[in-house]
Chains A and B, each alone.
Chain A
Amino acid sequence: MNWFAQNISTAIGKKLLMAVTGFGFVGFILMHLAGNLSFYFGKDAFLKYVETLHTLDPIIVVVELVLLALAVIHVSTGTILFFQNRRARTTRYAVNKTAGGRTIGSRTMPYTGFLILLFVILHLSQFHFIDHAVQTPWDAAVDTFNNGLFALIYMAAVILVGIHIRHGFWSLFQTLGLNNEKYMPLIQTIGIVIAVAAAVGFFFVPVYIRAVI
């Protein structure tokens, strides 16, 4: 186990943790998005989907635990990296311009990440840690998005998720060493598609819910 600790704590090791957990998140987001699309087919369709999902309960518990673990790793490693990286440059530049390498996404990873974390906590308190006997997920959505402020928070959050994934997706392949001239453009494109799909797909759920109620 020593070799593992030694290697995982290196610059590349920590990045690998980010990449693997980030990859897991992207997978979750895609599934979550797919599920949430059923919102757009109305209450009945959505609840039917939730019901079917519940038949998988034991698996879901596992998934939840895995997600939790990923989150702990992703967030704590991200935090360590953030502070280490700040420390690596003790004096800042008086003038600092980009040479064109960075993007909005890459610049803001820790910040979008942190905001996403806050959002997820809020989100879980509104959707997950509720009494499901009293409130169906549909009710939870209706209750939440009824409030214009929450609707706006959700809409803003999913844009942040899109931005985080826009950089995160190709970046994780780079981290895993999968960058070559042939495939990178494709990976970049897929990343953008996922980022846009997630942002747009989630964005209109609050809009839709507010429209139907």
Chain B
Amino acid sequence: MTLESKIPAGPLQDKWDRHRFELKLVNPANKKKFNIIVVGTGLAGASAAATLAELGYNVKNFCIQDSPRRAHSIAAQGGINAAKNYANDGDSIWRLFYDTVKGGDFRAREANVYRLAQLSVNIIDQCVAQGVPFAREYGGLLDNRSFGGAQVSRTFYAKGQTGQQLLLGAYSSLMRQVNAGKVEILPRREMLDVVLVDGKARGIVVRNLVTGELESHSAHAVVLATGGYGNAYFLSTNAMSSNVTAAYRCYKKGAHFANPCFTQIHPTCIPVHGTYQSKLTLMSESLRNDGRVWVPKEPGDNRPPGQIPESERDYYLERKYPSFGNLVPRDVASRNAKEQCDMGKGVGETGLAVYLDFADAIARDGRDVIAGKYGNLFEMYEKITGEDPYQTPMKIYPAVHYTMGGLWVDYNLMTTIDGLFALGEANFSDHGANRLGASALMQGLADGYFIIPYTIGGYLAGTKLPEVDASAPEFAESRSQIQSQVDKLLSVSGKRTVADFHRTLGNILWDYCGIAKEEESLKKAKQMIAELRAEFWENVTVPGDAADFNQALENAGRVADFMEFGELMVTDALERKESCGCHFNTAYQTEDHEALRDDDNYCHVSVWQYTGADSDPVLHTEPLEFENVELTQRSYK
């Protein structure tokens, strides 16, 4: 099969306009004849569901949580980018476009990224109109800050709760449509399959998480906005229910998966402190503006930090990257932290942490200034660790944070299954091999408010869609398949709990398919995952029964998918014999230990096709063409 990206012709700036003009329109009176399923209520899902309903479509909107407002987007802290240039510091759509493409290490589509930068401007207007309480200046106008190493101030924020406020904005629009009878919310439902009729996505099967019942829902199109799969690593900054299941089951039905190994690892998280640990908490990277990162010079030096004299400390980022120092990009900072810990210089009880020290900043600016900037972060840190960062240096360590990979989509955000669209973190689209800070929120909302409402119309208007309802045999077949998996999970009655398997899987992926990868260890990981997967089906124990609220069963299904998917991640990592962005293979690096791209052979999207449980997936590639930017090598020396 060929991957048709459907990128419109013409100059970059005009592509989206032109495309919108060329897309077929659904007659306003006909819109109410179309039913659309939106899975997910994060920024992408909620904005899509609300907007489609505003246009007149009938929408069913699903989520795992008890309320759409709790989708994982709620946790985003830092902010959302937009090329408003309110700060008058030289920002523009073109600059945001360029920064994003470059930040992604030239592994994203130019046309998509440009459209994203264009739409960023509308997003802010939309959110302000919805009542999102962005930070403001004394004059009453919107405030901006610079974020994630950007040289312009283009990040809009609402204290440290930007994701929450944006999501509540989208959620309020959604609630308005529920009230208007155009959206039906189905919470506490987990999508377990997409149902194809005549090769087109015509519905989904979900498990009602309260009753355990498998429900069928039919529609004219299905929109997937189910977020990222960082939880494959067990520990991540993602919410506990974040999963790959929805996307993976679509993959199994024929939606190809793009760049599964592109995972972003955030350098400043609160380190792991015990095996019981269930998740990792992100500390805003703004901390690196004033904190100094160091480890003891001697491996195994376990004196308390206060007793280690200056001369025996290694401020390794400042030493290695004199001009950027502690502010090197996320991937560089993460990699270096791991390197130090691998050398035995890690600190804390587990030896898997480095210090982020504010002593000098406090001495220089005074405690009040530091408290003014980071007070709430310091409090959060103290709440979790019981240590006061004003007194002792913080301990930080990198953690899995975001997945750039996802279902492959064309310019219309449609997957390789007709009528199945993917939005937000669930698709692979705009961030290439590395996502810039404050760009995920922007992408989710661009997809939901401003792209899918047009492109889905083009699909619906241009496609023959005979009536299909949930009594179609395809639904029954899908249900019985799911039922047999559920029964199987419950009947193994082995010895190891689901969480235990998940932890083991996470360790494998983290150790071998994490911050830095090597061919040999990747191969080993693939083997280990296959073995773990085999053991899972023989030795897992899932208590309770199917027709009930059963969280262990929910997790079991997700972990089963993570295991299969983990193999795909490793396969993808093995195949990409270069380093780019967050994908760092130690065999491919510059003298300065920077990611060394191979643009001749790997300037493409790796797109995987499922071929069956026991056969290897097939690789397709979508070549990336850069007509508007020049491919350069990053350097932070």
Q: Please determine if A and B sit in direct contact within the complex, based on CB atoms under 8 angstroms apart.
A: no
User: B residues within 8 Å of A by Cβ?
Assistant: none
User: A residues within 8 Å of B by Cβ?
Assistant: none
